[in-house]
């Protein structure tokens, strides 16, 4: 399935429009990761465990969005965007959304 953050798929024509599709997931921090993050905050550097957590969370949100698009009969999702929000102390949501379409 094609997925893009622009309004069209270059070289292809949109022949059907199915509307908004989305996927989200909420993840919480891990106490062990927090200990490592606290040390990194003192000494500086990338918080690799959090980077990995965010990457996994984005992938899950996109996967859920694509499942919804497939169920509608789409073969592409255009104009994809991401949003994040704090849901509770130590937990955050990543929300992926876009427009499900059929392209040729």
Digit-by-digit pLDDT tens for the chain (104 residues) are 999 999 999 999 999 999 999 999 998 876 555 555 555 566 667 777 778 888 999 999 999 999 999 999 999 999 999 999 877 777 789 999 999 999 99
How many domains in the chain? 1
Specify which residues 55 forms β-bridges with: none
Give the range of the structural domain holding residue 82, as residue numbers without chain letter. 2-103
Q: What is the CATH number of the domain that holds 49?
A: 3.30.110.70
Token pair, residue 94, equals 């990543």
What are 83's two structure tokens?
């949003």
- Closest residue by Cα to residue 61 from 93, 92, 91: 93
CA triplet 50, 54, 56: central angle to 5 degrees? 115
Contact 2, 76 (CB under 8 A): yes
Looking only at the bridges linking them, the beta strands covering 76-88 and 91-103 are antiparallel
- pTM of the entire predicted model: 0.84
């Amino acid at each position: 399935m094609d997925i893009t953050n622009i309004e069209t798929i270059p070289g292809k024509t949109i022949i059907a429009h199915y509307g908004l599709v989305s996927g989200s997931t909420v993840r919480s921090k891990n106490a062990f990761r927090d200990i490592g993050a606290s040390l990194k905050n003192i000494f500086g550097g990338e918080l690799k465990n959090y980077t990995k957590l965010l990457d996994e969370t984005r992938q899950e949100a996109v996967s859920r969005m694509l499942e919804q698009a497939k169920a509608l009969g789409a073969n592409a999702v255009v104009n994809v965007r991401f949003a994040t929000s704090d849901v509770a102390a130590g937990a955050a949501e990543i929300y992926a959304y876009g427009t499900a379409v059929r392209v040729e």
